[in-house]
């Protein structure tokens, strides 16, 4: 069983304002957690820079140019109330896309059985034409399209367990039956989307969780909504939008999961990948803002990926 880990020092150079929750220390906490002896078998690879042309798989050229124009030469440029760019943000974002696409290539070539990408900025709030929610480009959406274009994949399932709804991913695939998007998320909460009634063309599954929901209701949502949808869809690839801000320690939400819940959910999706997709599973870091909760949760997630 080969589990590959992609990261890159450039991700630390995407600078956000002091006190911003989406900060470089998130990746430092993950790096420390994955230094433990039990992770010595991880296949650690430096993320490649992505091809900017692949951004067009999910976003129009005019939007790409708008983001490029927002990158400052010095200091920090505010894109919206929550989302900022610094001089190295373009390179960080391109390298996050490069890692996501390389991870897809890896699981189709057999270089890895599954892959975890520890990158920033995150991506799931980036809509077709809007950067928001700490996100510039939608890494998961671009990777799904890359799988279809480069590997002839017919069906991709994206499962998003970030505590915030992935409005961007939903927006991009709203009317595309070749991509299944399933999300568990707190509601009400930013960004305000993700009601169960939002179903696209039958390819969107939103399992909204009330504040203070714990393990039982999260696992029930997985067992009754997410996993049956994945089984019915029979994807050729599963992509996880792996946010860990539903952890009980996280300051931005009120869902009370533990690292054991992320271990369990990972195992369930690995089972589905084995059943439908020859084991092909790619996991992309999204949120998670308490450093200890994030570190513990990623360690549980990656540990489960390595067990096969």
Q: Which pLDDT score is estimated for 252? A: 97
Beta strands 156-160 and 3-7 are unpaired
Residue 125 among the catalytic residues: yes
For the chain, which domains are there? 3-307 (3.40.800.20)
Q: What is the mean pLDDT of residues 168-182?
A: 99
Q: Which pLDDT score is estimated for 42? A: 98
- Spatial separation of the C-alpha atoms in residues 117 and 253, rounded to whole Å: 23
- CA separation, residue 98 to residues 20, 46, 155, 221 (Å): 25, 10, 21, 32
Q: Which pLDDT score is estimated for 287? A: 98
Residue 1 has pLDDT above 90, yes or no: no
Q: What is the pLDDT of residues 230-271, one digit of tens each?
A: 999 999 999 999 999 999 999 999 999 999 999 999 999 999
Does the pTM of the predicted model rise above 0.85?
Answer: yes
Residue 68 has pLDDT above 90, yes or no: yes
User: Residue 176 — pLDDT band, cuts 50, 70, 90?
Assistant: very high
Q: Which of 59, 125, 185, 301 is catalytic?
A: 125
Q: What is the mean pLDDT of residues 27-52?
A: 98
Residue 308 has pLDDT above 90, yes or no: no
Q: What is the mean pLDDT of residues 131-146?
A: 98
Residue 38 has pLDDT above 90, yes or no: yes
What percent of the chain lies above the pLDDT cut of 70? 100
Q: Looking at the DSSP assignment, which residues form a beta bridge with residue 114?
A: 3, 281
Q: What is the pLDDT of residues 79-137, one digit of tens each?
A: 999 999 999 999 999 999 999 999 999 999 999 999 999 999 999 999 999 999 999 99
The 3-state secondary structure of 16-41, one letter per residue: CCCCCCCCCHHHHHHHHHCCCHHHCC
DSSP classification of residue 104 = H
User: Residue 34 — pLDDT band, cuts 50, 70, 90?
Assistant: very high
Contacting residues for 48 by C-beta, under 8 A, at least 6 apart: 95, 98, 99, 102
Taking phi over 0 as left and psi of -120 to 50 as alpha, with beta for the rest, 12 belongs to alpha
Nearest partner of 284 among 235, 239, 237, judged by Cα: 239
- Spatial separation of the C-alpha atoms in residues 207 and 272, rounded to whole Å: 18
End-to-end CA distance of the chain: 6
**DSSP readout, 220-274?**
HHIIIIIHHHHHHH--SEEEEEE--TTBTT-TT----B-HHHHHHHHHHHHHHHH
Nearest partner of 178 among 149, 160, 153, judged by Cα: 153
To the nearest whole number, what is the mean pLDDT of the chain?
A: 98
Helix axes 89-109, 61-70, angle to 10 degrees: 130
Q: Which pLDDT score is estimated for 193? A: 98
Q: How many alpha carbons lie under 13 Å from residue 239 in its C-beta half-sphere? A: 34
- Spatial separation of the C-alpha atoms in residues 134 and 120, rounded to whole Å: 9
């Amino acid at each position: 069983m080969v589990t590959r880990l992609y990261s890159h020092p450039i991700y630390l150079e995407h600078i956000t304002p002091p006190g911003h929750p989406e900060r470089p220390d998130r990746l430092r906490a993950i790096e420390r957690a994955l230094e433990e002896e039990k992770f010595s078998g991880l296949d650690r690879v430096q993320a490649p820079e992505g091809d900017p042309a692949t951004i067009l798989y999910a976003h129009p050229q005019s939007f790409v140019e708008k983001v490029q124009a927002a990158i400052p030469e010095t200091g920090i440029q505010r894109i919206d109330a929550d989302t900022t760019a610094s001089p190295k943000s373009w390179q960080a974002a391109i390298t996050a896309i490069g890692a996501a696409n390389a991870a897809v290539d890896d699981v189709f070539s057999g270089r890895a059985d599954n892959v975890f990408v520890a990158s920033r900025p995150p991506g799931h709030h980036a809509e077709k034409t809007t950067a928001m929610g700490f996100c510039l480009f939608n890494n998961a959406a671009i990777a799904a399209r890359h799988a279809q274009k480069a590997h002839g994949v017919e069906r991709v399932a994206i499962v998003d367990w970030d505590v915030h709804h992935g409005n961007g991913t939903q927006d991009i695939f709203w009317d595309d039956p070749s991509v299944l998007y399933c999300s568990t998320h707190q509601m009400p909460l930013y960004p305000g989307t993700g009601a169960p009634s939002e179903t696209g063309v039958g390819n969107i599954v939103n399992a909204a969780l009330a504040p203070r929901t714990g393990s039982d209701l999260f696992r029930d949502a997985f067992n009754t909504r997410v996993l049956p949808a994945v089984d019915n869809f029979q994807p050729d690839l599963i992509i996880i939008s792996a946010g860990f801000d539903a952890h009980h320690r996280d300051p931005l939400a009120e869902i009370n999961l533990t690292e054991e819940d992320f271990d369990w959910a990972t195992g369930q999706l690995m089972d589905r990948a084995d059943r439908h997709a020859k084991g092909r599973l790619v996991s992309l870091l999204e949120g998670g803002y308490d450093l200890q909760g994030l570190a513990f949760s990623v360690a549980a997630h990656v540990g489960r990926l390595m067990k096969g």
